């Protein structure tokens, strides 16, 4: 059996109830939740017209993940990264990763972002704080507002 998850965020607009029948036909279980015409009167259809997110393939281990964007949005690049200048190569982050996506190469840890769950176990284990959580949009905002010296922690 194949399992996947999608996380998306963006701008939406109300499309109204015109396509509600089509959506209910594609998702027949919704008739159990909203069994009568009266119960469906509160429903409307929204369309996300600009946004970004991540796709997760959960059927295999390690998981697969990919970022996407549509409607002119820019894909977020966030997650945990290793500062190679600070990493002492102790390897304490490697065994705590549930996806086994951290490897030591030439004495420096590296995180394979295509499999990372962003759980933060590596961050919490590193004795020298060489692992950082990156928030792409927040970093851009902080730079634009000249807010330097502020630390974002997971």
- pLDDT over 60 at 5, yes or no: yes
Measured CA angle at 32 (ends 30, 38), to 5 deg: 85
Per the CB < 8 A criterion, the answer to whether 101 and 62 are in contact is: yes
Distance CA 123, CA 59 (A): 26
Torsion angle of the four alpha carbons 32, 34, 36, 39, in this order, in degrees rounded to the nearest 10: 160
Most confident option among 35-39, 50-54, 60-64, 67-71: 35-39
Distance CA 64, CA 56 (A): 6
Interval 12-57: pLDDT, tens = 999 988 899 999 999 999 999 999 999 999 899 999 999 988 888 8
What pLDDT sits at residue 152?
43
Mean pLDDT across the chain:
84
């Amino acid at each position: 059996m194949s399992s996947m998850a999608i996380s998306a965020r963006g701008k939406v607009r109300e499309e109204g109830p015109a396509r509600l029948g089509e959506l209910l036909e594609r998702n027949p279980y919704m008739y159990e939740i909203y069994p009568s015409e009266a119960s469906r009167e509160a429903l409307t259809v929204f369309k996300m017209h600009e946004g970004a997110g991540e796709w997760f393939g959960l059927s295999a281990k390690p998981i697969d993940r990919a970022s996407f964007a549509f409607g002119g949005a820019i894909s977020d690049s966030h997650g945990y990264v290793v500062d190679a200048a600070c990493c002492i190569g102790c390897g304490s982050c490697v065994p705590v990763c549930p996806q086994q996506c951290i490897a030591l190469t030439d004495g420096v840890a590296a995180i394979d972002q295509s499999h990372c769950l962003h759980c933060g176990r590596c961050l919490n284990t590193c004795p020298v704080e060489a692992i950082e959580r990156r928030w792409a949009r927040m970093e851009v905002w902080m730079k634009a507002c000249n807010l330097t010296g502020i630390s974002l922690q997971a």
